[in-house]
Amino acid sequence: MKHMHIAFTHQDSKRIVIGIDGGGTHTRAIAARMDGTIIGDVQTGCCNPNKDERAEEHVKDAIVSVLERADAVAEDVAGLCAGLAGIETEEDLSWAESFTSVPGIACPKKLVNDSYVAHAGAFLGEAGIMAISGTGSVVFGLNEQGRLLRNQDFHHYAGAARHLAFDCVYRILAGYAGEEDQGLVTEVLHYWKVDSVAQLYEQGMEGFALGVHEQMRMFGKMGPIVTRAAKEGSPLAMHVCTQLADALDIGVRLIGAGFAEEQVQVAFMGSVIQDDYIAGLLTERLIRHIPGSKQYQVVQPCLSPTIGAVWLALKECGASIDASVMNHLEQGC
């Protein structure tokens, strides 16, 4: 990346940018000066209107709150980048624009899917693959020609926390739990506040929870139970985790097939894929040699997704990003 020196004026000292990383669980907003210094950081709830009826409120609250934390006003904002889960098509930009419309903010905006800001933070505009699995899941790549590639464009979906939990519960109800899985079964029953598998079955007949949003929330929160049980040796949990790792491996290789170079960098993001057990399974799969497939190198992201959004906001308003700015951004991760 080419770094350029930028001179800041007194007026610049009052100007700020806002970067937002919104997912299915939390929306995080960061305010930064034009020199990359972080001056505000807040977290609110889910930003995805498909998963939370209060999604718009959460995004607007994040913007207003981060302005307060930064001791700034809306008119100070020179650039804003929001990576929001749920932005999938051009039509989604209309609700995203509404979600980020706060009185007084009249600056260039970049509205993208949350996977885009994660990729920007990880690779700073360079080629690479971001594999995400947490509340949601996507495998997202930017190849050497700058072409965006997503596994969902192929109708492939690797799975997220709730899918681990769904698969686990289905297998318990179907009778797959053996003697070595009894610790897992006990924890699952306790989580769902039932006394037996038969009661869990009846709860399942009623959809497990009231409303689809509550159902998704409950299964999403259950994901760590499955990965913890896998680490402790539950065959059922290990099988479920292995299936997810296999699906993520396919997703990465599917996107990697669109790259020209033989070696492709991959970064992980999200509570599930960054779990030590899942990360280990997936890394083992990616580094093995498969004739006809690319070679993959698992790397750590350069910046967090939210700082990636700040980086994009700086670029969006035309700020030059030199080594000093990058140093300030890195300190904010």
**For 175-229, how does the pLDDT look when each residue is reduced to its tens digit (9 = 90+)?**
999 999 999 999 999 999 999 999 999 999 999 988 888 998 999 999 999 999 9
Asked if residue 67 has pLDDT above 80, the reply is yes
Residue 37 DSSP label: -
Write down the pTM of the prediction.
0.81
User: What is the average per-residue pLDDT within 58-76?
Assistant: 96
324 contact partners, CB below 8 Å, separation of at least 6: 35, 36
pLDDT for position 13 = 59
Asked if residue 8 has pLDDT above 50, the reply is no
As a whole number of angstroms, the distance between CA 167 and CA 69 comes to 42
Question: Which backbone phi and psi does 287 adopt, to 5 degrees?
Answer: -85, -10
pLDDT for position 84 = 96
User: What is the average per-residue pLDDT within 289-305?
Assistant: 94
Higher pLDDT, 38 or 2: 38
As a whole number of angstroms, the distance between CA 115 and CA 123 comes to 12
Report the share of the chain in percent with pLDDT over 70: 96
Asked if residue 324 has pLDDT above 60, the reply is yes
Phi-psi region at 163: left, alpha or beta (left = phi > 0; alpha = psi -120 to 50): alpha
Asked if residue 320 has pLDDT above 90, the reply is no
As a whole number of angstroms, the distance between CA 194 and CA 205 comes to 14
Asked if residue 333 has pLDDT above 90, the reply is no
Higher pLDDT, 320 or 184: 184
Report the share of the chain in percent with pLDDT over 90: 86
User: What is the average per-residue pLDDT within 224-241?
Assistant: 98
Average pLDDT of the chain is 93
